[in-house]
Amino acid sequence: MQQSTHDDLIQLRRDLHRHPEPAWREFYTTSRIVEECERIGVDELLVGPDVLADGERNAVPDDDELQRWHDRAREVGAREDVLERTEGGYTGAIAILDRGDGPTVGLRVDIDGLLREEATDDDHTPVREGFRSETEGMHACGHDAHATIGIGVLEAIKESDFAGTLKVFFQPGEEMVAGGKPMAKGGHLDDVDALLAVHVGLDHPTGEIVAGVGGFLAVHHFRADFAGTPAHAGGKPNAGENAVQAMATAIQNLYAIPRHEDGPTRVNAGMVGGGTATNIIPEAAFIEGEVRGETTELMEYTRERAERVLDNAAGMHGCSVELSTVGEAPSATSDQALVDIVLDAATENTDVDTPTERDDLGGSEDATYLMQRVQEHGGHAAYVGVGTDHPGGHHTATFDVDEESIAIGVDVLTDSILGIDDQEQ
Amino acid sequence: MQQSTHDDLIQLRRDLHRHPEPAWREFYTTSRIVEECERIGVDELLVGPDVLADGERNAVPDDDELQRWHDRAREVGAREDVLERTEGGYTGAIAILDRGDGPTVGLRVDIDGLLREEATDDDHTPVREGFRSETEGMHACGHDAHATIGIGVLEAIKESDFAGTLKVFFQPGEEMVAGGKPMAKGGHLDDVDALLAVHVGLDHPTGEIVAGVGGFLAVHHFRADFAGTPAHAGGKPNAGENAVQAMATAIQNLYAIPRHEDGPTRVNAGMVGGGTATNIIPEAAFIEGEVRGETTELMEYTRERAERVLDNAAGMHGCSVELSTVGEAPSATSDQALVDIVLDAATENTDVDTPTERDDLGGSEDATYLMQRVQEHGGHAAYVGVGTDHPGGHHTATFDVDEESIAIGVDVLTDSILGIDDQEQ
Amino acid sequence: MQQSTHDDLIQLRRDLHRHPEPAWREFYTTSRIVEECERIGVDELLVGPDVLADGERNAVPDDDELQRWHDRAREVGAREDVLERTEGGYTGAIAILDRGDGPTVGLRVDIDGLLREEATDDDHTPVREGFRSETEGMHACGHDAHATIGIGVLEAIKESDFAGTLKVFFQPGEEMVAGGKPMAKGGHLDDVDALLAVHVGLDHPTGEIVAGVGGFLAVHHFRADFAGTPAHAGGKPNAGENAVQAMATAIQNLYAIPRHEDGPTRVNAGMVGGGTATNIIPEAAFIEGEVRGETTELMEYTRERAERVLDNAAGMHGCSVELSTVGEAPSATSDQALVDIVLDAATENTDVDTPTERDDLGGSEDATYLMQRVQEHGGHAAYVGVGTDHPGGHHTATFDVDEESIAIGVDVLTDSILGIDDQEQ
Amino acid sequence: MQQSTHDDLIQLRRDLHRHPEPAWREFYTTSRIVEECERIGVDELLVGPDVLADGERNAVPDDDELQRWHDRAREVGAREDVLERTEGGYTGAIAILDRGDGPTVGLRVDIDGLLREEATDDDHTPVREGFRSETEGMHACGHDAHATIGIGVLEAIKESDFAGTLKVFFQPGEEMVAGGKPMAKGGHLDDVDALLAVHVGLDHPTGEIVAGVGGFLAVHHFRADFAGTPAHAGGKPNAGENAVQAMATAIQNLYAIPRHEDGPTRVNAGMVGGGTATNIIPEAAFIEGEVRGETTELMEYTRERAERVLDNAAGMHGCSVELSTVGEAPSATSDQALVDIVLDAATENTDVDTPTERDDLGGSEDATYLMQRVQEHGGHAAYVGVGTDHPGGHHTATFDVDEESIAIGVDVLTDSILGIDDQEQ
């Protein structure tokens, strides 16, 4: 990669890092992506409702919250035309290079930030170098680097002799496992012959590449709202129907859902709360939680048991319960044919010390929706890990990426796409 | 009562109603009380740290929160000298009339509001008449009327032939059962021969007086903070120590504390919460709750069991737990000698349809600290109920007092104080 | 009382003490009662199905268990004709003296023993004096003395100038709160003008009489059987539906049923169990428990909540639950008119040091069914406590009665019945 | 195998089937094994305390229970000299053939039955053919066939040209995972170069052989006894310390022990109980349960968490808890070198349709103690599965073995032992 390109990519990554935006609020981010794609000169650029299947978005914030981030994006320079097309939270984009006959290759990068505070210490590079987050969120999982890699690959392929079609999917809302499903169902993956998804870090240092990440846990992220009847806790305890008792009974029994013979499952009641005052029998309570499984079936088993627990915990305490889906993602696997191509590209790259064939994620990712969609239509998919030195763990305040790894990611992915092209000829 | 006085009291009550302030934040309220006391011309007026025993205040908000309300009080006209003396949350006041030899009589009124939103409908009198709350709180328990009655009684006794000393205790922080203890321990009750406390409403309509309210449940209001260890819920569930599991186990077992042969007890986990994200094993959780008993002993029995539950629930899940007292109040009884005097005063008052000797509160009140203090020093105490039509229940958005009852309260209490005076001569 | 009569009664009591029989198995006991009634010469003696309302007996043991006790009674000398009439567990008897015009007075005594082992130490009188229990049960609540008092009163009234009708109800199955209901519904109480029930001890020493015992807690004694699905705990944990998890969830939530503003309630999961092997997901589990309330309404409130808990605990774990009633008893009160008569009789008795008007039982008793039945038909009822020194507490291995108290009980009850007779004349 | 030998083995198996004996009560079984070994003419035969390490036996029944089975064994013909040596539950035997220089090879077979009733239907072969169980137990897991295979192999090797030493370990108490540890620690395995263990069935039909069974879950089988304080549930609920509440809290939280990132774990509260009467706050309760893990470390993780739960559940309810170990077994693996030899033997056997290299047990087995002991001393071990058609599942009333598989097992194991011998030459 040319030094000038590399420097530009780092500037882009730092700009995105300064403006982390959570799910369905990636207004500034989308605007910057649009600017870059137009600069490069893509053949087609999809932005807005066309990118995401109708009615498939979960966990969309209310209008006030959307408006607040929309306004903020405008203040920091988002383009009016992009703001207009993404109104209502239709963030993300699909950029298409049409280079004639040849395979249709997809690259999926996610673009959202997390709602957590970034470290303020001087030994945290974004602080020292002046690009610490300016919103209430943080790019604590490297999606700023992912978006940047997407732009880098677009530019590199544009300048290459690639024959065929390249689609780069800039996906919103991965942290809530909310964006993958509507993007997968949007139809733009159905003609993709080979899909690559990418993630930096994952405890792999700069110079490592994992050609085929697997071990995705299927996940269902839910919210349960219990509604009971309040009463004065001193005077009329019998008149209440206690939503906090329902919630506590549910928590105890959720964690006690039986393990499954077929493989690992997980349950977590990760955010809970209820009640308004110590002297009132609590009228409302909630559990926001998740179930996971090594396979989609194992996740579904756990989910069914969880729903049975939640329903009966409510009924036991005279409460009703409303369940809603916040996000979800299936399990998926990386196809060997693609893994081989990526492994070759990594092996030939002199900046890669340790090309690795396979490793497990041990977590969840909604890229699996896109991978599954491609595989259902007869294509192949692989999830590629790009090592990066990261001082703090993913999702922590001191997470940061080693910017050298961005160029490595761009190069390996570009070479992999060219490798796919070669093979299809 | 003269119409002009009555009108003035209603204006005062409405002014206080417009500015409800929660525990330790009654800066504007205290300022208004000071103004009224100075207008009346009391002999001594205690404001600030002298009113409240050192180190006995629980549930004092942090400096930011105190400052916010302090600033707000200044903006709406609180006097600078009062603001200075109440800085740090030393709210409330004691007004003293010294009328020579005779008994020392105390009157306790509480002055704080609740943190809840007031109704906005036009059929809610404060809306229609333009004195709806202007803060984020609400006088939803009639303490605006109580403070006003305190001023009314001061003025009436000032103009009477009362001989002796009258102390009116304008107590802060009753809603958190936090203000009674430091005021009781402040020393100004130790020479009181007879103490009257007053509450409006309590499901008694205008025209009813309860001479001796009893059935106070002793209460302990606590907060338990559980601290565990976070971990990724998908990747390393075993590495976490789950504070939400500790909390849920505690909730289930708190409600299951055995009933007691000696009388009613109560437990409530009224506000609970924990966790930060669905995919993180929760590191922190809390329970803010209360235990009560018909007697202080019954409350203490329940409290000991509750602490055993909280400690072991934490230990079971590898967490620590920190317990703190938010508020507390003992049980107490109204002395027959005083009840008789109040009953006589009520019976002779032509606005009182239904003088009642005794009724039960069935809740908690930290006036009991003051009553107990007086009784321990050989004096008598009675808690007087002043009926008032209230459209909504106590602590609800549509609570309001029938302002006619303010004059009734002032008259019956004034006559009771004069009755005490007569008896002691 | 004549010494010879007294001695006979003590011999009778010791014979009954040697042969304690639990609910519906009082075959020998009923036979002995029949013998005594025939010796005295009663006018009518009801034994067998006529005594107990059809279909109202709960907790009847299975045929094998009944047969075992039936055989045993025959071995130790029960009369064949009585054994025939009581077959199938129709134990108990009603003895009637018809003495012409006058009130119909009832006396209820219970006759069953408990299934627990008696002390074996020499300082336990039944051991030393050679009348320790010869069955697997024990008269650990004094019902041997009650039956004896019933015989003593019959004999004394027979020899008195009583005018009217006396019915003595020898009730089976009180310890299971199972015998009161079928006897009450049997119809033989409907013409009773005044009913006395009697209990010895209750922490009152010899020489005390309580004329009107009250404070009966209404009780419902239930059994819940959970049925799930077994599975190998190591190989297929997911294939099971765990009845022990259902049971544990139910226990936790039963004890946590909210207290009631109107008075005391109680819950106890007194006997529980489940599962067959450590490596099998438990297929079955049970809770045998009880709910109580100061009033029948409070008991019913608690019962409804308990059933909601049990149903949902089963549903939560994919189990079914079957609920059955083992026993029950309402609350009841002693009528003042009768209490006054008994108090007079006690006061005039020189062996009574401490006649007491009223005291609380603080437990449950199915005499309340009989009392309620009489009261519903316009009669009066009182439950009389006859003090007796008892070395161990009720239901413990060292319980015993001071035999001197038997004569006191007979005398006071006889005099009370004569007092009723006098008043009605 | 010769037909006559085959018939003899089937007669032996049926005799053992008629006399199933549970852990430490295999008196008749041991006697029969001794008879067979003496008939064959082994060089050394260890019976009694020498076979089992001192103080390492768990779950030994009390003297009455041992005596009852001891007496029964005598009645059905056990030899007096064997009964004498096995007194106190020192059951099992080790038979040794010493054939000069060569490897020391071990074969482990378990010999105990289960305490469960056998089917009574005519289509159950043991019923139809007249060898249904005559004790209260059943050979529902095929250990009758295992012991028979042990005898068959001894005889076959005796008649072969095997050079070296063969030790056959007839192990008691496998069903309680109680016998493996004391036999492993007895010292007789320390010189074994190659150990084979064998199990029939495991859902493999007749004609299948699994050369190396793996996937043993390490297991810890525990008993927790909770001790609290009883009290009258109606009169003094507060005076009790409720062991059933402690038990229920423990059950809920045991099942909720977090899953582990490193592999499967299991928890089961398989047998639980508590309380004595519905109106007594339960004084005692117990949980007999197990924890498992794919590795010994995973089992230990779960065990530590379980003990934390049990301790704190007791403490929470004012109870004490006593923990005891009923049985345990580590995880283990089959060594490839031995698996290869067995696979060769199976492949060459014409009665074997399906030689399989490896399969998972998915349960627990205390043969792992013996395997581990051999491996720690530098030897190899393999656990061999011998397919058999079994109409009902293992541990069910209709389990039975296809007797044709006994000869296959003897042949394959004999050939494997000869194969080991060949390789070592």
C208-224 residue pLDDT tens: 999 999 989 999 999 99
Give the total residue count for chain A: 425
Mutate: best of D222, D271, D278, D366, partner C, most C CBs <10 A: D278
Average pLDDT of span D123-135: 97
pLDDT grade for A235, boundaries at 50, 70 and 90:
confident
Among candidates C239, C261, C318 on the partner chain, residue whose Cβ is nearest the Cβ of A235: C261
**What residues does each domain of chain D span?**
3-216+332-424, 220-328
Q: What is the dihedral of CA A185, A186, A191, A195, to 10 degrees?
A: -70
Instruction: Check residue C425 and give its pLDDT.
Output: 61
Residues of chain C positioned with their CB less than 8 A from the CB of A316: 253, 308-309, 311-313, 316
C3-216+332-424 and C218-326 have identical folds: no
Whether the CB of B263 is below 8 Å from some CB of chain A: the reply is: no
Question: Per-residue pLDDT tens for A147-187?
Answer: 999 999 999 999 999 999 999 999 999 998 999 999 999 99
Question: Per-residue pLDDT tens for D181-219?
Answer: 999 999 999 999 999 999 999 989 999 999 999 989 999
Whether the CB of A255 is below 8 Å from some CB of chain B: the reply is: yes
Whether the CB of D175 is below 8 Å from some CB of chain C: the reply is: no
The CATH class of the C3-216+332-424 domain is: alpha beta
Residues of chain C positioned with their CB less than 8 A from the CB of B258: 255
Query: D265 vs A252: CB contact, 8 Å cut-off?
Result: no
Query: C271 vs D282: CB contact, 8 Å cut-off?
Result: yes
In terms of Cα–Cα distance, which of D273, A248, A309, A241 is closest to C312? A309
Whether the CB of D259 is below 8 Å from some CB of chain A: the reply is: yes
Low-confidence ranges of chain C (pLDDT < 70): 425
Residues of chain A positioned with their CB less than 8 A from the CB of B362: 234-235
The number of helices, as runs of H, and strands, as runs of E, in chain C is 12, 12
Query: B249 vs D249: CB contact, 8 Å cut-off?
Result: yes
What would the DSSP string read from start to end of B36-82?
HHHHHT-SEEEESGGGS-TT---SPPPHHHHHHHHHHHHHTT--HHH
Among candidates B240, B258, B312 on the partner chain, residue whose Cβ is nearest the Cβ of D316: B312
Whether the CB of B360 is below 8 Å from some CB of chain C: the reply is: no
Question: Per-residue pLDDT tens for B143-189?
Answer: 999 999 999 999 999 999 999 999 999 999 999 899 999 999 999 99
Answer yes or no: is A175 a known binding residue: yes
Whether the CB of C259 is below 8 Å from some CB of chain D: the reply is: no
Instruction: Check residue A425 and give its pLDDT.
Output: 60
CATH code reported for the domain at B218-327: 3.30.70.360
To which residue do tokens 């250990």 refer?
A: D143
- In angstroms, the separation between the Cα of residue C310 and the nearest Cα of chain D is 14
Whether the CB of D233 is below 8 Å from some CB of chain B: the reply is: no
Whether the CB of A218 is below 8 Å from some CB of chain B: the reply is: no
Q: Which distant-in-sequence residues (6+ apart) come within 8 Å of A253 by Cβ?
A: A309, A313, C245, C249, C316, C317, D252
Residues of chain C positioned with their CB less than 8 A from the CB of B255: 255-256, 258
Query: How far apart (Å, rounded) are the C-alpha atoms in residues D291 and C233?
Result: 10
Instruction: Check residue A395 and give its pLDDT.
Output: 87
Instruction: Check residue D241 and give its pLDDT.
Output: 97
Neighbours of chain C (3+ CB pairs under 8 A): A, B, D
Query: How far apart (Å, rounded) are the C-alpha atoms in residues D414 and D345?
Result: 9
| Dihedrals phi, psi of D264, to nearest 5 degrees | -65, 145
Q: What percent of chain A has pLDDT over 70?
A: 100
Residues of chain D positioned with their CB less than 8 A from the CB of B238: 258-262, 301
Q: CB contacts < 8 Å between A and C, how many?
A: 69
pLDDT grade for A362, boundaries at 50, 70 and 90:
confident
Question: Per-residue pLDDT tens for D351-407?
Answer: 999 999 999 887 889 999 999 999 999 999 999 999 999 998 888 899 999 999 999
Instruction: Check residue D362 and give its pLDDT.
Output: 76
- In angstroms, the separation between the Cα of residue B236 and the nearest Cα of chain D is 5
Average pLDDT, chain A: 95
Among candidates C233, C266, C362 on the partner chain, residue whose Cβ is nearest the Cβ of D266: C233
- In angstroms, the separation between the Cα of residue D313 and the nearest Cα of chain A is 14
pLDDT grade for D1, boundaries at 50, 70 and 90:
confident
pLDDT grade for D168, boundaries at 50, 70 and 90:
very high
Query: C271 vs D255: CB contact, 8 Å cut-off?
Result: no
Whether the CB of D362 is below 8 Å from some CB of chain C: the reply is: yes
pLDDT grade for A2, boundaries at 50, 70 and 90:
confident
Query: How far apart (Å, rounded) are the C-alpha atoms in residues B144 and B401?
Result: 9
Query: How far apart (Å, rounded) are the C-alpha atoms in residues A192 and B366?
Result: 72
Query: D253 vs A253: CB contact, 8 Å cut-off?
Result: no
Residue A48: DSSP 8-state = S
Evaluate if residue D235 carries a pLDDT over 90: no
Query: A281 vs C301: CB contact, 8 Å cut-off?
Result: no
Whether the CB of A54 is below 8 Å from some CB of chain D: the reply is: no
Query: C258 vs B261: CB contact, 8 Å cut-off?
Result: no
Query: D312 vs B309: CB contact, 8 Å cut-off?
Result: no
Low-confidence ranges of chain B (pLDDT < 70): 425
Question: Per-residue pLDDT tens for D365-377?
Answer: 999 999 999 999 9
Instruction: Check residue D393 and give its pLDDT.
Output: 86
Neighbours of chain A (3+ CB pairs under 8 A): B, C, D
Among candidates C237, C244, C247 on the partner chain, residue whose Cβ is nearest the Cβ of D266: C237
Q: CB contacts < 8 Å between A and D, how many?
A: 21
Nearest chain A residue to D268 by CA distance is A258
The predicted model scores a pTM of 0.89
Q: Which distant-in-sequence residues (6+ apart) come within 8 Å of A349 by Cβ?
A: A209, A355, A408, A411, A412, A415
Q: Write the ipTM.
A: 0.85
Q: Which distant-in-sequence residues (6+ apart) come within 8 Å of C130 by Cβ?
A: none
Strand ranges in A51-190 using DSSP code E only, listed in sequence order: 93-99, 104-110, 164-171
In terms of Cα–Cα distance, which of C288, C303, C367, C356 is closest to C333? C367
Answer yes or no: is B70 a known binding residue: no
Query: How far apart (Å, rounded) are the C-alpha atoms in residues D72 and D27?
Result: 9
Nearest chain A residue to B240 by CA distance is A268
Q: Which of residues 305-324 of C touch A (CB under 8 A)?
A: 308-309, 311-313, 315-318
- In angstroms, the separation between the Cα of residue C371 and the nearest Cα of chain D is 20
- In angstroms, the separation between the Cα of residue D302 and the nearest Cα of chain B is 9
Q: Between 1.10.10.10, 3.30.70.360, 2.40.128.280, 2.170.190.11, what CATH number should domain D220-328 receive?
A: 3.30.70.360
| Dihedrals phi, psi of B47, to nearest 5 degrees | -140, 140
Query: D316 vs B318: CB contact, 8 Å cut-off?
Result: no
To which residue do tokens 């068959």 refer?
A: D152
Q: Which residue(s) pair with D173 in the sheet?
A: none
Average pLDDT of span D299-323: 98
Answer yes or no: is D6 a known binding residue: no
- In angstroms, the separation between the Cα of residue D381 and the nearest Cα of chain A is 26
Among candidates B255, B259, B265 on the partner chain, residue whose Cβ is nearest the Cβ of C266: B259
What is the rounded end-to-end Cα distance, in angstroms, of chain A?
Answer: 25
Q: Between 3.30.1540.10, 3.30.1490.20, 3.40.50.720, 3.30.70.360, what CATH number should domain C218-326 receive?
A: 3.30.70.360
Give the CATH fold of the A218-328 domain.
Alpha-Beta Plaits (3.30.70)
Among candidates C269, C278, C288 on the partner chain, residue whose Cβ is nearest the Cβ of D268: C278
Query: How far apart (Å, rounded) are the C-alpha atoms in residues B298 and B416?
Result: 33
